[in-house]
Amino acid sequence: MLYNLAIVIYDFLVHLAAPFSRKPRKMMKGHWVVYELLRQQVEKGERYIWFHAASLGEFEQGRPLIEMIRAKYPDYKILLTFFSPSGYEVRKHYRGADIVCYLPFDKPRNVKKFLDIANPCMAFL
């Protein structure tokens, strides 16, 4: 319950800061378009392995795993999500993933919607 409250407060603060700061503005924009992007790019019938990196540093630590999984399972598509604008902006064109996007704020409705569209068969969070 405390976690859910913290997410709501964080979401509110990002919205509040967006008009004054580029980073929250980019985050909000990325979160607004994530579902449409997924609907356009997720191919029905394909199997997706989902990797989530909260930040660029976390991505760099997990990158060898992504590349190993990509090599070992070439028939699977790679979905890569970021929470931070710094990670997303630097790696949005990463060739090791088929889809790169933001992860929506961690609210039950957002999680359900994201998983319903992406339908990953495996996740590395």
The pLDDT tens digits for 95-122 are: 999 999 999 888 889 999 999 999 999 9
* Number of Cβ within a 10 Å radius of residue 34: 20
Where is 90: in which H helix or E strand? helix 85-91
- Domain residue spans in the chain? 2-124
pTM of the model: 0.84
Q: Is the pLDDT of residue 67 over 90?
A: yes
pLDDT bin (cut points 50, 70, 90) of residue 4 is low
At 12 the pLDDT is 76
**Contact yes or no for 10/105 (Cβ under 8 A):** yes
pLDDT bin (cut points 50, 70, 90) of residue 48 is very high
Q: How many residues does the chain have?
A: 125
**Contact yes or no for 84/56 (Cβ under 8 A):** yes
How far apart are alpha carbons 101 and 119 in whole angstroms?
A: 15
pLDDT bin (cut points 50, 70, 90) of residue 22 is confident
Catalytic residue numbers read: 58
